[in-house]
Structure 1
Amino acid sequence: MRLIQKMAGNAYVFLRRDDWRGFYDPAHSEVLDLLMEHDPIEIKATRTFNLQPNLVAEIPLGQIRVVLKNFGWRSFLHFLASPFMASKAINSFKAALHLLNNGLPTPKPLAAFEQRRWRLVKRNCYVTESLGPLPHVRDYLKLRPDGEAGAREVLALLGSYIRRMHDSGLFHRDLTLANFLLKDGELYLIDLNRSRLKKRMSFAQRLRDLATPELEESDRNLFLRYYLGDGERLELWSQALNLRTHLVRAGRKFRKWRRRVFGHRAPKKEDSLQAALSPRSLRTPGNRPGDETLKGKFLETITFLFRIRAP
């Protein structure tokens, strides 16, 4: 066990216990009991959402409320590749500290733990303070409750936040508008598990993040102006961003078509909740609805290959 200082006024404890390891805020040590219980979510959760492939729940913890995220796997192959990757929980924790150190709002991290067996990630959890139910930028720009003036202010906040984030070296890689929450005139960025820290963001990496938000063309042009500021080549960036945006949208349509053709459907909500809340499903992939088909195909392929090689 050792203390590490990661952001002003906050020290985190590194803890290794059995096959668990991770970080927690000693000011909220009760979070350890929450993580080490077999099934805390089923008992204590007051709100659950985003059931596939992850389970996210809001839970009361002492005098505060926290958000606990149990990360799942989109496929059995991702689980097999986990020994060669950082866990999503630890990655989210480090990205959140990076944002806070650079003055960019995100929910305060309280803990991040991973459980590995033979280096395979069996379970990984990330806990932050809850901001409560807040609107996200996607709905705000769609409904525009404060008219065009309010929309311009939000686009200015969005462009400024992403520019500062990129200049700090954080490549988010999943920068949808639903990942920006609005609170008291500030944006809070969530869902950091895919992010990567870079010494310097390349043009292509910046463009990939900028093309991800689902903005209408007029909003996208205004957002880009706020991102670039004065003195940058707006026309070149605008043309490149429009091209990249079309590619992103084409990719989304292809993935929807692929899921429809190959029969990957979203499970019923009650089935998802029951599977996600079971202790076993929180520990291993292949137990949630929709995983059995892929797992079965994988096992059939392995069996077929062994039959071919048999004398």
Structure 2
Amino acid sequence: MSGSDQKQVLGGIDAGGTTFKCVLAGLDGEIIARKRIPVSVPEATIASVTAFFREALSMHNATMKSLGVASFGPIDIDPASDSYGTILETPKPGWASCDLCGRLSAALGVPVHVETDVNGALLAEMAWGAAKGCASAAYVTVGTGIGAGIYTGGRLLGHPVHPEFGHIRLQRHPKDLGFKGSCVFHGDCLEGLASAKALQDRFGDPAALPADHLAWEIEAYYLAQASLSLVLMSRVERVILGGGILLADGLIEKVRVAYDMLMNGYVKDRATIELISTPGLGDDAGLKGGILLAMRGAGD
């Protein structure tokens, strides 16, 4: 079959710190192939990603028009920068100064468009998920670290750099005064107190903790403060809390209760159950973010 008979498709990657989730999608964003690739060193990881896309393209008799990447960071997201798409300083072995998008573009022969993982997830949630129809929203991802994306006034806040929201300072929970925090830079910042690593450091495996464990009251208190800061600072219409930690039974409800206590009736734009939510796209938020970046890139 000739190249002119091949259909055009898009590629999307949710480039996480431990797993790259890769998809091939139609121009309408409908996923037609997907694969999870464990992260190792850049050379092996990029080779596996490239092999997936080549095989999927061959199987579907397709050509890729554009590739979108929602990536772990820090990463250069300034399209005008010479290092656009390059991973910056990171403790991940071998990944510092890796030209992730340049390598993918060269290997696949397509333009690559990149955002941070949390910004990608936020844009996808605004297009198709929990913040669809909202003019402003924030997405907070809680994992090994904590990051946030904020969309208001028709753009991503801080672009082409991005907020370091995970390092804001918090009021300590009265039953959590002895823990010094897990952040190597600031100790007891948001990330140092509420990340998955912070929970692990003082309570053990979060997945093994019962729903009534004190850890979840403490975690909810810190995530409520984070939500409060976002609402008071930018008056966003939706705060989306994502990441595996939010799968804990009853945690989102505890966050809402703590938020109402902390807000104390001051801002009453909307009900808290509407304001604070988990991702509507679930675990696919970052992946759909990659597809959305590719869709926008294909339209340029």
TM-score by length of 1: 0.30
Question: Of the two, which has the highest radius of gyration?
Answer: 1
Tell me which of the two structures has the higher relative contact order, counting C-alpha pairs closer than 8 angstroms and 6 or more residues apart: 2
Task: Please identify which structure carries the higher helix content.
Answer: 1
